[in-house]
Amino acid sequence: MSQFILHKENTRGHANHGWLNAHHSFSFANYYNPERMHFGVLRVLNDDLIDGGMGFGTHPHDNMEIITIPLAGAIAHKDSMGNSAVIKSGEIQVMSAGTGVSHSEFNALPDEKLSLLQIWLFPNKKNVTPRYDQLALDLDARRNNFQQILSPDQDDAGVWIHQDAWFSLGKFDEGFETEYKIKKGGNGVYAFVISGEVTINGQTLSKRDGLGIWDTNSISFKANAANAEVLLMDVPMEF
């Protein structure tokens, strides 16, 4: 029998720092809710809106798989591995922090807001050599399809990480229905609605709602609005 947990948009943690308007699906920084610590290995899902030219100065990370998906605008990234890059909407960035890495992230555009999702997963191996990657995604491939954008396999579609996790993005026509099969036994799926309204396993979800489902092999999906966009995070529940 499948189990689920529903996180409505307005129940997320919220921190407005002026230049940064952040919503946290799970406990982060000063937002602490013991009921919202993680979904399996998914530890952080931050929905950030950043003013033009503003951002996070150089700061360290370790032992975390960090995935950034810009929804609108572009991020300027610099790190201690020597990477200097701009990641635009339609691309995905991944960083395995491993033994330790420092980086900065700024809105690359001076006059436009940057909207991004930043996702942290616990790694399946500690103290790996830090690594960085980014990838431009084929936006057409996600029309009425869950397009795989991340996996544990270097040779599979999307970027890869040190965890048995698969991420997929889809953008759907109103009324489109499909089924998503969970990639690995013991994994669950956390669905996050980027825009529009959808129904997953009988639960109606609106923009920025999250639904975690586990103890099942698949989930049913229906788009209730045109251009509904959803991110699925298929992650181990035990770690």
Partner 1 sequence: MQTTILYIGRDAEITIVMNRLLNARPEWKGICVCTDEEAVSILEAQNVDLVLLGNGIDVECEKALRSNINALKPGVKIIQHYGGGSGLLYGEIMTALS
Q: Which residues are annotated as a binding site for Fe cation?
A: 59, 61, 103, 105
Output the known binding site.
Answer: 59, 61, 103, 105
Q: Which amino acid is at 80?
A: S
- CA 150 to CA 127: how far, in whole Å? 21
Size of the site for partner 1 (CB under 8 A): 23
81-100: contacts with partner 1 (CB under 8 A)? 97-100
Name which of 80 and 84 has its Cβ closer to partner 1.
Answer: 80
Query: Pattern 150-169, binding to partner 1, x per CB under 8 A?
Result: --------------------
Give the range of 1-9, 54-62, 185-193, 200-208 binding partner 1 by CB under 8 A. Answer: 54-62
For 140, list phi and psi in degrees, rounded to 5: -70, -25
Contact 74, 109 (CB under 8 A): yes
Q: Does 37 bind partner 1 (CB under 8 A)?
A: yes
Taken in order 85, 24, 211, 215, the sign of the CA dihedral is: positive
Q: Does 30 bind partner 1 (CB under 8 A)?
A: yes
Name which of 11 and 27 has its Cβ closer to partner 1.
Answer: 27
Kindly state the smallest distance separating residue 32's Cβ from partner 1, in Å: 5
Contact 152, 203 (CB under 8 A): no
Task: Please count the other Cβ atoms lying within 10 Å of the Cβ belonging to residue 93.
Answer: 23
Task: Please count the other Cβ atoms lying within 10 Å of the Cβ belonging to residue 178.
Answer: 14
Q: Which of 2, 8, 29, 186 binds partner 1 (CB under 8 A)?
A: 29
Q: Which of 7, 23, 25, 28 binds partner 1 (CB under 8 A)?
A: 28
Kindly state the smallest distance separating residue 190's Cβ from partner 1, in Å: 17
H-run or E-run covering 55: strand 55-61
- CA 181 to CA 127: how far, in whole Å? 31
Cα–Cα–Cα angle for 64, 88, 108, rounded to 5 degrees: 90
- CA 236 to CA 122: how far, in whole Å? 10
Task: Please count the other Cβ atoms lying within 10 Å of the Cβ belonging to residue 20.
Answer: 17
Q: Does 14 bind partner 1 (CB under 8 A)?
A: no
Q: Does 12 bind partner 1 (CB under 8 A)?
A: no
β-strands 203-205, 198-200: how paired? antiparallel
97-156: contacts with partner 1 (CB under 8 A)? 97-100, 102, 120, 122, 127
166-225: contacts with partner 1 (CB under 8 A)? none
Give the residue from 168, 235, 226, 230 showing the smallest Cα distance to 194. 230
Q: Which of 7, 12, 23, 61 binds partner 1 (CB under 8 A)?
A: 61
Kindly state the smallest distance separating residue 79's Cβ from partner 1, in Å: 13
Binding site for partner 1 (CB under 8 A): 27-30, 32, 34, 37, 43-44, 59-64, 97-100, 102, 120, 122, 127
